[in-house]
């Protein structure tokens, strides 16, 4: 018995061979530095990035309710369960089997004799088809399952970052739409007052019908714009509700206007190599690459023999009360060696497929790095130009407002035509809209850079 135990132990100890190739991560296919190098604040946790209390409440709600994030979390749990299932194949299956068998001997029964029958009780602990992992096939499969679980965890982090930035973008779009409604409403009120003045002047014979028609046309256009802006606001609210994953609560803090939004717009980008450990999607792609490499090891090991063990130790007796007696012990030991000879090319095709999938994983990993580099570079380029754009747009709006004030005085004095006043009013309206749009673009660009840098998740 001791010799058998030592034999099994030696067989288990031989499972040290591995067919998995050594993995060397490819060199990142991007430049060593970004096109623009800028200092700034380190990437903060999301609450530090988005200082608007209303936006913070919406993001917190989304992290609890968003269905995409919930699916990603469930996928991670499924991958963890897959690890346990895969590891279980590397462990022996031990069963406790009990039974009772009764049988009757065959043949004719002579006159005056009775038929004979016998019964047997059994109790044994059985080891069923336990594979000795001589060439690392099971270990490679375990490694692949583990890497895919880690990839799913990084995928969950990536989805969390996506949800945060999606809610922020949807919130900013909703703020822009609401402020454009307010701007259009105020502009409409101004133009209606201007129309009333034009009617009085026309009734007094101090202006032509053309001036009145121009004023009426301008008001009708503003009314059309108002209907469009209200529709866009409602659609933006619907998009925000979808991003959050739940109805918007009525007791949220008051919103902050776009021009006063406390979103950090000066984030620091170090080097592209920092993205390799910060961006969850890159880390996810790396784990997928490692899993694909482990699959090659499992496919290679499938070409080699498989050794499995089946054994049992227990008791057998015709009487239940004597089942545990020393003389009723029973055991069996059945090692089996399976050598693949002909599989119709299946094993080679499986190995080829594993190598192709590994090449795909390498290309995916490299593409993910390139995409990350481009997104950060775009964010830095936007950051470098938005300050100048907003300054110029602010000055253009102020100049348009001064022109409007002067045109109003000149028109009332009869020094200029109604057309000049209408043009000045439209210019102010357009300049105010452009300033709002530019500020919105700056904030969404900052959110995109935050996401590109890996966020603080």
Tens digits of residue pLDDT in 153-197: 999 999 999 999 999 999 999 999 999 999 999 999 988 988 888
CA dihedral 64, 67, 71, 77 (to 10 degrees): 20
Q: In this predicted structure, which of 7-11, 234-238, 300-304 has the lowest mean pLDDT?
A: 7-11
Under the banding of pLDDT at 50, 70 and 90, the label for residue 4 is very low
> What does the pLDDT read at residue 5?
45
Q: What pLDDT, in 10s, does the model give residues 346-395?
A: 999 999 999 999 999 999 999 999 999 999 999 999 988 999 999 999 99
Q: In this predicted structure, which of 23-37, 133-147, 379-393 has the lowest mean pLDDT?
A: 23-37
The domain ranges of the chain are: 27-101+119-452
Q: What pLDDT, in 10s, does the model give residues 12-27?
A: 444 456 789 999 999 9
- The chain-wide mean pLDDT, for the chain, equals 87
- Better pLDDT: 451 or 328: 451
**What CATH topology corresponds to 27-101+119-452?**
Outer membrane efflux proteins (OEP) (1.20.1600)
To the question of pTM greater than 0.85 for the whole model, the response is no
Q: What pLDDT, in 10s, does the model give residues 328-337?
A: 778 888 888 8
> What does the pLDDT read at residue 3?
40
Q: What pLDDT, in 10s, does the model give residues 254-303?
A: 999 999 999 998 888 777 888 888 899 999 999 999 999 999 999 999 99
Q: Is the pLDDT of residue 107 over 70?
A: no
> What does the pLDDT read at residue 60?
95
pLDDT > 70: percent of the chain: 92
Q: In this predicted structure, which of 37-46, 114-123, 405-414, 441-450 has the lowest mean pLDDT?
A: 114-123
């Amino acid at each position: 018995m001791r010799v058998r135990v030592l034999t099994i132990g030696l067989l288990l100890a031989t499972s040290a061979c591995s067919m998995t190739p050594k993995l060397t991560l490819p060199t990142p296919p991007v430049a060593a530095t970004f096109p623009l190098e800028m200092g700034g604040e380190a990437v903060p946790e999301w609450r530090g990035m988005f200082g608007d209390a209303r936006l913070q409440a919406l993001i917190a709600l989304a992290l609890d309710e968003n269905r995409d994030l919930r699916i990603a979390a469930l996928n991670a749990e499924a991958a963890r369960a897959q690890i346990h299932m895969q590891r279980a194949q590397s462990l022996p299956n031990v069963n406790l089997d009990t039974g009772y068998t009764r049988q009757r001997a065959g043949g004719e029964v002579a006159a005056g004799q009775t038929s004979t029958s016998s019964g047997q009780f059994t109790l044994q602990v059985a080891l069923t088809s336990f594979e000795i992992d001589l060439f690392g096939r099971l270990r490679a499969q375990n490694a692949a399952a583990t890497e895919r679980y880690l990839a799913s965890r990084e995928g969950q982090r990536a989805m969390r970052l996506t949800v945060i930035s999606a809610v922020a973008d949807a919130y900013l779009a909703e703020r822009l739409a609401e402020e454009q409604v307010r701007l259009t409403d105020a502009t409409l009120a101004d133009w209606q007052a201007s129309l009333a003045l034009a009617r009085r002047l026309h009734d007094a014979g101090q202006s032509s019908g053309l001036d009145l028609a121009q004023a009426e046309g301008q008001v009708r256009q503003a009314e059309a714009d108002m209907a469009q802006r209200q529709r866009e606001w409602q659609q933006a609210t619907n998009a925000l509700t979808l991003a959050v994953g739940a109805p918007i609560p009525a007791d949220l803090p008051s919103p902050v206007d776009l021009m006063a939004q406390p979103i950090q717009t000066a984030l620091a980008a170090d080097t592209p190599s920092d993205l390799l450990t910060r961006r969850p999607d890159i880390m996810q792609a790396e784990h997928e690459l490692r899993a694909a490499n482990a699959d090659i090891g499992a496919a290679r090991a499938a070409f080699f023999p498989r050794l499995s063990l089946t054994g049992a130790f227990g008791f057998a007796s015709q009487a239940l009360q004597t089942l545990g007696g020393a003389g009723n012990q029973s055991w069996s030991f059945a090692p089996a060696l399976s050598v693949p000879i002909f599989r119709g090319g299946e094993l080679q095709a499986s190995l080829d497929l594993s190598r192709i999938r590994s090449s795909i994983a390498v290309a995916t990993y490299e593409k993910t790095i390139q995409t990350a580099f481009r997104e950060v570079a775009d964010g830095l380029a936007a950051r470098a130009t938005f300050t100048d754009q907003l300054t110029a747009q602010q000055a253009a709006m102020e100049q348009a407002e001064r022109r409007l004030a002067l045109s109003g005085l000149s028109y009332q004095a009869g020094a200029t035509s109604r057309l000049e006043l209408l043009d000045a009013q439209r210019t102010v309206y357009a300049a105010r809209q452009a300033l709002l749009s530019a500020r919105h673009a700056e904030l969404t660009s900052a959110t995109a850079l935050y996401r590109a840098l890996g966020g603080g998740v």
